Amino acid sequence: MSQTVNVSIPFTTYTISRCMCPKCPVEIGSKCAKDQLSKITQNVCGAKPLDREEVPAVYCATGMAACTDLEAAKDCVCVSCEIYATYKLSGRSPSSHYCKDGMAR
């Protein structure tokens, strides 16, 4: 029996800063995601660590988005993302739309 292995993509400021999700057509019109990004920007110098559920990015590492106003019918940009290439997500499942389909496995 074959077993699916999750890809280990670190949830760090490095991966967050390279993530294309905030520029993705699926997320770009989301008020929820914009509000989350605004909170992150305000807390950049804060001591509180970032919560995965509050970061509208790196869904390939964290799983489905907490925001419910994403437009999943729009084209996804995951395949053109540096993280997608670095962690060899081509051929993995799901292949895109991690924000609605969950983290890479």
Per-residue pLDDT of the chain (105 residues; tens, 9 = 90+): 444 456 789 988 899 889 999 999 999 999 999 999 888 766 656 556 778 888 999 999 999 999 999 999 999 999 999 999 999 999 899 989 999 999 998
Helix (H) or strand (E) holding 82: helix 82-86
Q: What is the pTM of this model?
A: 0.84
The verdict on residue 97 lying in a domain is yes
Contact 87, 44 (CB under 8 A): no
Quick one: which of 77, 23, 31, 2 has its CA closest to 98? Answer: 77
- The answer to whether residue 4 sits within a structural domain is no
Q: Identify the pLDDT of residue 45.
A: 60
Q: Is residue 6 part of a domain?
A: no
Whether 63 maps to a domain, the answer reads yes
Tokens coding 8:
């280990």
Containing structural domain, residue 41: 13-101
Residue 18 within any structural domain of the chain: yes
pLDDT reported for residue 3: 44
Q: How many domains does the chain have?
A: 1
How many angstroms separate the CA atoms of 5 and 46, rounded? 34
| Tokens (6 digits) for 28 | 């770009």
In a domain, 60, yes or no: yes
